[in-house]
Amino acid sequence: MLKKVLVVDDSVAAVKMMQGILEEGGYLSVGLSDPLRIEETITTEHPGVILLDVVMPQRNGFQICRDLKGNALFGGIPVILVSSKNTTSDKFWGQQQGADAYIAKPFTADELLSTVRRFA
């Protein structure tokens, strides 16, 4: 059975690009560009891993990660932050919010797939 990955990024182009890489790597993917619908989407799609952008309007990835990890229903799902914010302090802050991994943009297809494989 293929592992399902939820890709959350406010850029539809970034979602499509990551979905293409994941599908080439043998994963099922669900794309979401509205960060306000993440809990609803997790409930209906049951992903095994979440790729989550940090810089988004209305609700950033750090907030979402903290909310998910603090939720009994969603806390066990690995969250990989994917962001153009790539300083040491950004990565540390992501870890403090409960992120399981952090990928800096731009990334390679191999980097994305190898990180997802650690959790899927």
Q: CA dihedral in degrees (94, 14, 51, 68; nearest 10)? A: 70
Measured CA to CA in angstroms, residue 102 lies from 43, 73, 106, 112 at distances of 24, 22, 12, 10
Write out the residue range of the structural domain in which residue 95 sits. 4-117
Contacts of 47 (CB under 8 A, 6+ apart): 4, 5, 6, 30, 77
Q: pTM for this structure? A: 0.96
Three-state SS at 62:
helix
Give the tens place of pLDDT for each residue, 32-75: 999 999 999 999 999 999 999 999 999 999 999 999 999 999 99
Pairwise CA distance, residues 51 & 4, whole Å: 11
Give the tens place of pLDDT for each residue, 61-116: 999 999 999 999 999 999 999 999 989 999 999 999 999 999 999 999 999 999 99
Helices 61-69 and 38-45, interaxial angle, to 10°?
A: 50
Domain count, the chain: 1
Strand 49-53: give its sheet, edge to edge.
Answer: 28-32, 4-8, 49-53, 79-83, 101-104
Q: What is the CATH number of the domain that holds 22?
A: 3.40.50.2300
